[in-house]
Structure 1
């Protein structure tokens, strides 16, 4: 699909790119550390099929934590509301996304929400399938359907890099297993989770997925209800309350768009009833969010009155 360049978006990108110098790429995952911190691109996908963009929107990146929203939608479709939220909570946290603190202080040891790593591991554990490969292929097919792009795959290099350095996630998984929140082999779960995080796409694909969430789970272009309305609503609520790590409250006040970020520098936005947004800017702030990406969303929200509040 072609996406037309927008003069206004290009001006926003030029303004927001100034913020890249104040952040740093996620070099604690070696394969992500090679990203160019000055990269910045945005695509906006409308429900009528139109798209506007700025920057190199064909450059691919891995979803990382953005995948948590998609796996949550799939698992809610697989298992149902009660099953899922008996095992993972719905409350925001002020702690970093990879913190173990709340697991130790909450009894029983249930992750506070599906957007922190502990919660995402429990959600990924719930994907139906007889093997890691079957579970992953189901998730990947779901991603491809939402993006309407059957060529989407994953970066084996990034998955391997994350698998080899996922010491903290392994610690979280073993803690959860000790407290009966997980009952599968931790290495198999790490294999699946790192592949999930390494699903790779461009800004246009991400904007189209955001558009499906924005339209309450419907894909107006195919005429299909890809995600049930109530599940899309739950996912968007988590994007507002927990989607930008422990900066979600400030983000909601300043920008007010349901969004989910990932440490590769991606941000998926879903402006309810209007359009989806896909952003890539790998220079991150301390919370792990794209610095220039947040500035871009701030400019969009302010200029076009996009806040839902």
Structure 2
């Protein structure tokens, strides 16, 4: 009986080695670090802020991206988790817009009977929608940042032997007014002087990053206008004297303006990030 089990164990080890050897011969990607057949994945944010993945301009599904990332199974799993989190954040954003629009609709239905209670009710609708939107926006930001990093890591992994200079990537964070985009060489944050030196050396990089910077400044301007609109609206709600002296039909245009600004600013911020991605990817994989 002992000899039989020893035979089984020996056979198992031999078969495992044979399977591994055959896999090594048929899959150079894992055992010879050769990823020449793997395409570079381009990640951007679409009009609604959801992830969009392309290869040579052709759109692909998130499941296809995960299949390419299976060379690093942990990254592939995390990629799908972060992709889904981003979509969930977008859904909360839609819900927040619906709640805020409900507040505007409620206000418009009671515009002829305007009073402090109507104003406060509509205010709670709009603020509730804003809070819900903030939660969704944070979920989306975290998901987008992580997906961006995972795609950058994957592209570096499959092309590291062809990269002779810096490998640029970026991260971003939201400030009170607008967003801040930071550019890195690998894990190292570039100083303003280092980035300017690279832009002066590579005019195409400078052109792409300047376009992104222009979009970022426009987004910041819109954020300032949105903040001013919020201050005026809150002042109207909490100040009885202001309520009695201001015309009631002032509220609806103000609410619509605030919603329009809150929609436009993220759209332009996404444009700035997409332009940055294109500029950095073109730089990293230039011929």
Q: Please confirm whether the aligned pair reaches a TM-score higher than 0.5, indicating the same fold.
A: no
What range describes the TM-score normalised by the shorter chain of this pair?
under 0.3
Higher relative contact order (CA 8 A, sep 6+): 1
* TM-score, normalised via structure 2 length: 0.24
- Structure (1/2) with the larger helix percentage: 2
* TM-score, normalised via structure 1 length: 0.23
